[in-house]
Structures are given as C-alpha cells and as structure tokens.
Amino acid sequence: MNTFFDMGGYGSYVWPAWVLAIIVLAALTVVSLRTMRARERELSKLESDSPRRWRRDLDGGDK
Amino acid sequence: MLLHRYANPTRFLRLANAVLPWATGLTAILIVAGLYFAFAASPPDYQQGQTVRIMYVHVPSAWSAMFCYAFIAVASAVGLIWKHPIAHVLAISAAPIGACFTLICLATGSLWGKPMWGTWWVWDARLTSVLILFFLYLGFIALANAFDDAGRGEKAAAILALVGAVNLPIIKFSVDWWNTLHQPASLTKIGMPSIHPSMLTPLLLMAVGFTTMFVSLLIVRTRSEIAERRIRALRAARIHREAAAGADD
C-alpha cells in the first residue's frame, strides 16, 4: 500500500494533481446546485404571489 | 423550425431535465471506471514512470476546456446571428465550467512539468496559449456581468468569445508550429495512435466522463440562469405595475 501512495517517488506530484482536480470540480458542482436550488425556490415564491396574468405577459403568451 | 422550438425556455427545460439524470449517472460510472483504470489497471510509463497518472486528468481537462470554449463560441454566434434567446444563456452558463477545466489543466500540467521537465512553468507556445484561454474565460465572465442591462453584457461577451475562438487552433497546432517544450499530440497522429490500450482506456474514460459532467453542470447552471432572469423580469413587472397603480390614484 505504501508503494501505491509513494508513486515511485512522485507521490508529491501525482496526488496533489488529482486532489486539486477533485476539489475544483466538487466545489463547482456544489456551488452550481446550491445556486440553482436557491433561485428556483425564490422564483416559485415570487410566482405564487404574483397574479397569473403578469406571468402570462412575461412569457409572451406562449405557454 | 426545429431550432426555434427549443428557444422557449419551457420546452428547453423539459428536454434538459430529461437528460440530466442520464448525464449525471453516466458521469459517475465513467469517472469511477476511469479512476480504476488510471490507478489500478495501467502500468507506469517507461519514460515518465508513475507521473503518467497525472496525464489521465491533465489531458481530459485540456480537451474539455477546449470543447467548452468551442461550445461557447458556437452558442455566441447563434445568439448574435439568430437572436436565439437560449443561446446566450447557454454560453454564460458554460463559461465557469470551462474556466475550471482550464485551471485544472494548467495546475496538473505544472505538477507534471516540475518532475519531468524540471520546471513548473515555461513560456512556450502551448502553455502560453492555454493561459490565454483561461484569461478569455475570465474576460467572458467579467464582461457578461459588467453591464446593468444584461442584454448588452451578453452581446459584448459573445463578441469576445468569437474573437477569442482564434486561440483554439493556435492551442491545437502550437506544438507543431513552434518548437515547444510541450510534447505533440499522441492520439491524433496520422495512422494509429502511439499509445498503448492500457493507457488509452483511462484517458478516454476520463475524457468522456468529463464531457458528460460538462453536460450535467451546464443543465444545472442553465436552469439557474433562467430562474435568475425570470426573477428579474417578475420584479421589474411588479415595480412597473405598482408605479402604474400609484399613478392612477
């Protein structure tokens, strides 16, 4: 197992590369999902307390 | 026209939501398989030793970074020429994803360069053109958000994306046009790719996994952007009606 983590002496380059990639992509995923949920929640709140007629106007009547 | 059927956010969202679970599931399977082949089922390289395992994240992120930019350039062109309403939304939603892939490409390349070339960074044509790609992404994001009027911001950003597209062939052919320290392509050589199947497998699995990940994130970010625009429109409509109601009194 130690030889696996040692990576033939290159462990200090191989592991940071992968860890960094995983952190960047995980952070992007979390931020994207959180933003989407927050905005969709806010939108449905706004839509539920604005009259139906306004929304129809916004959609250009194509709904 | 088929294209315009998807111009309506409602129709577009229906399609996107149907694709999302498949794209997410595929991403998970491909990346887990890619990691297995990258670390367990492939040998060290005869020249690079174990550092070859950095390639399995470096090369797919580079491909994804360029693919994403090409997508933004095409979406920007569609938005500018046909005024397709979803096109700019897609381009703006894709930009941060591409910026992240470019950042990963640069950082992992640097971590490979230090042990193999003896330097973290060199101003050769390939590295410099990819750094420019990163700045193009940042410029696009900044420009899209620089105007109070979102319509002007997205147009300005789209023009930048189209002008910057000239950088894509420069990145691709930089290793052939100039004497770079960066090695030329191994996969797209004329004839057979000069890479053993045991190393090609993790490379391709990660590359396709990154592509489906791009699709998943793009859908999530596009939904977010559409919701944001509707919130803005509803707020504006409310202020407008309230002002009109006030004037009537």
What is the model's pLDDT at position A58? 57
For chain A, the C-alpha Rg in angstroms (whole number) is: 24
What is the model's pLDDT at position A49? 78
Quick: pLDDT tens for B140-181. 999 999 988 878 999 999 999 999 999 999 999 998 888 888
What is the model's pLDDT at position B85? 81
Residue in A closest to B230 by C-alpha: A43
- Shortest distance between the Cα of B190 and any Cα of chain A, in A, equals 30
Instruction: Compare CB distances from A35 to B44, B53, B224 and report the shortest one's residue.
Output: B224
B53 interaction partners in chain A (CB closer than 8 Å): 7, 14, 18
Residue B198 reports pLDDT greater than 60: yes
**CB-CB under 8 Å, B97 with A36:** no
Residue in A closest to B31 by C-alpha: A22
What is the model's pLDDT at position B101? 98
Quick: pLDDT tens for A35-59. 999 999 999 999 887 666 555 555 5
Quick: pLDDT tens for B112-136. 999 999 999 999 999 999 999 999 9
- Cα–Cα distance list, B109 to B55, B121, B131, B164 (Å): 8, 9, 12, 22
Quick: pLDDT tens for B90-113. 999 999 999 999 999 999 999 999
A32 interaction partners in chain B (CB closer than 8 Å): 217, 220-221, 224
A62 interaction partners in chain B (CB closer than 8 Å): 8
Residue B190 reports pLDDT greater than 60: no
- Shortest distance between the Cα of B191 and any Cα of chain A, in A, equals 31
Rounded average pLDDT over A7-27: 94
Sign of CA dihedral B100, B103, B109, B115: negative
The candidate with the shortest Cα–Cα distance to B75, out of B148, B159, B152, B137, is B159
Measured CA to CA, the distance from residue B188 to residue B58 in angstroms comes to: 16
Residue in B closest to A62 by C-alpha: B8
Residue B195 reports pLDDT greater than 70: yes
Q: What percent of chain B has pLDDT over 70?
A: 94
Q: Where are the beta strands (DSSP E) in chain A?
A: none
Both tokens of B31, joined, read 């990346």
Give pTM, 2 decimals. Answer: 0.91
Lowest-confidence pick of B16-20, B63-67, B184-188, B231-235: B184-188
ipTM of predicted assembly, 2 dp? 0.89
